[in-house]
Amino acid sequence: MPKIGKNPGVKKFVMRPDLYNAIQEKKVFAEASTHSGISAGVIKADWDAAGEVIRTWTTEGHSIPLPSLGTMRFGVRSKAVKIS
């Protein structure tokens, strides 16, 4: 049993994203193309456009809905920022 956190001995899941391998971008577009019937080139163009919108809106402080995943929002904790 894990001995971490406030309840040692209770089973927990600890996410460690550094354990996962990055999938090649072209493989993602090819898989999406297979599932949708839309060409990989069109999917890449859409993905690039969505990325620009997400980047712009998140840096303006908006929450971004990601269908089937949830909502993405970046925040800044006051203790993490040095105010001059």
Tens-digit pLDDT profile for residues 46-80: 999 999 998 898 888 889 998 888 888 877 665 65
The pTM for the full model equals 0.58
Per-residue pLDDT band for 5 (boundaries 50, 70, 90) equals low
Q: How many residues does the chain have?
A: 84
Q: Note whether 60 and 74 are within 8 A (CB).
A: no
Q: Note whether 56 and 64 are within 8 A (CB).
A: no
